[in-house]
Structure 1
Amino acid sequence: MSAAGEGSAAAGAAEELRRRIASAGLLPGERLGEVALAAELGVSRNSLREAFTALAGEGLVVRRPHRGVFVAAPDADTVRGLYRMRRILQLGALEQGWLTPAAVARLERAAEILDDDPSPRRLGDANHLTHLGITDLAASPELTRVMSSVLARTRLAFHPLDEQTRLHALFADRNRWIVARLLAEDLPAVRAMFGDYLEEAEAFVLQHLDGSAAAQVSDVPA
């Protein structure tokens, strides 16, 4: 395969793995077996290694010497950084953006899920679409690509909150309201509440992470 072909294959593999992480198809700490995964994705091992390098640069996977590549498990400092990025990207999009065709398509997909009595995981999918839809308001594919990676890392922090808590159920009604107001082109109303929304979500995730860390410490023999 040519160098251009290898690069295209690597980019495609990275995008597919990013999509799986964002949809909770790959879980924090999961080992990514190179041979099996390359065959599954239909790419060479060299292309897959390039994809791993790209994802490692985004903080989505980590390489552990002599052990392999693993899906990242965000810690509290990482979560704080992700929410700082979200405030900048999403509040900026709400301030400067407009209802683009890309945003409409994404938000309508979120609405379909939210109206279908979804499972916790599907509520997470709707949440992901809602927040990407907000970023689509900026009419910048580059910002949407950045946000896609940020949200994929955020989704890793959400797991296993999807099953152990009512995280997405707690925010489902607000997500329905956000989707409805954005589709009605009422961006100022969403922006007025969105800072508090992110602050509450961040606090919820950090509380869970702090509790998990404390539990792990208590399980260590004295």
Structure 2
Amino acid sequence: MSVNETYSSIPLGSGSTHAHTSAWVASTLRQEIANGRLLPGSKLSEQALSEALGVSRNTLREGFTLLDSELIITRIPNRGVFVSSPSAEDIREIYAVRRAIEPAALAWGPALDVPALAQAILEARAAAEVRDVPGMADANQRFHEAVVRSTGSVHLLELMGRILAKMRLVFHSMSDAPDFHSHYVERNAALVDLLASGQRNEAAQTLLGYLDTAEAELLEHYESSQKI
């Protein structure tokens, strides 16, 4: 794949009041990572990205600085800028944030959209039927984004965008374990069933246990991979 093909999906900055700013650059690249189009270890070419995004190299570097502060990218002197590969500590931090936000959103979020959650389940099941691991990961991302969107908070949704970008990097490490994704499809479906019957507190408690289990499974897989 050429450099141009790698960045062909990235939207140009025209037509937005936030375009051509470092914050917009960081948001765009963060979304590309969350969508699985920029993978752990990928080198980010300044020339190709500045051309694809329609921004100066200085603006791009400012965007890199924002992503570096979030530990989503890594700058290596004399080598360049790379998409980060998550550590065990990153996994623990991701789940600490998710435990603080998502169960509360299920219990109290004023804008809970159960049909949107149910649609994500349909998409995840369709992907599971054909063993489409990236498709299951995509649907899972949409599901949990919708959970946080129920809070009605722009700031929490922005925070979740950062978490989802990191989560996608973690999920990439599970590409050799497709069953990890498939059994969480049904865990998400169980949450929707509880929410559809008005059992929001029960759904919140179920999600807490679900997140504990997912964190433990990811850490176990990570530690095993480090021994190879």
Q: Which structure 2 residues correspond to residues 41-120 of structure 1 after superposition, within 5 A?
A: 41-100=53-112, 103=113, 106-107=116-117, 109-118=119-128, 119-120=132-133
Q: Which runs of 5+ in 1 are unaligned?
A: 216-222
Equivalents in 1 of 2:20, 2:102: separation in Å? 29
Equivalents in 2 of 1:15, 1:107: separation in Å? 24
1:149 to 133, 146, 162: 162
Letter in 2 for 1:120: V
Q: Which has the higher helix share?
A: 1
SS at the partner of 1:69?
A: strand
Equivalents in 2 of 1:179, 1:41: separation in Å? 38
Aligned residue pairs total 209
Letter in 2 for 1:110: A
> Residues 45, 106 of structure 1: CA spacing in aligned structure 2 closer, same or farther, 3 A cutoff?
farther
Using the size of structure 2 for normalisation, the TM-score is 0.83
Letter in 1 for 2:162: S
Contact 1:120–1:163 (CA<8 Å) still a contact in 2? Answer: no
Provide the residue aligned with 1:203 in structure 2. 216
1:19 to 1, 6, 31: 31
Q: What does the per-residue CA deviation read over 1:161-213, in whole Å, with 9 as the maximum and x for residues that have no partner?
A: 13444211121111223234445554223112111100110011101110111
Equivalents in 2 of 1:74, 1:117: separation in Å? 25
Q: Which structure 2 residues correspond to residues 105-144 of structure 1 after superposition, within 5 A?
A: 106-107=116-117, 109-118=119-128, 119-144=132-157
Equivalents in 2 of 1:24, 1:32: separation in Å? 14
Contact 1:106–1:132 (CA<8 Å) still a contact in 2? Answer: no
Contact 2:88–2:222 (CA<8 Å) still a contact in 1? Answer: yes
Contact 2:107–2:203 (CA<8 Å) still a contact in 1? Answer: no
Q: Which runs of 5+ in 2 are unaligned?
A: 1-16
Q: What does the per-residue CA deviation read over 1:55-100, in whole Å, with 9 as the maximum and x for residues that have no partner?
A: 1111110111111111011111111111111101112222332334
Provide the residue aligned with 2:7 in structure 1. none
> Residues 142, 38 of structure 1: CA spacing in aligned structure 2 closer, same or farther, 3 A cutoff?
same
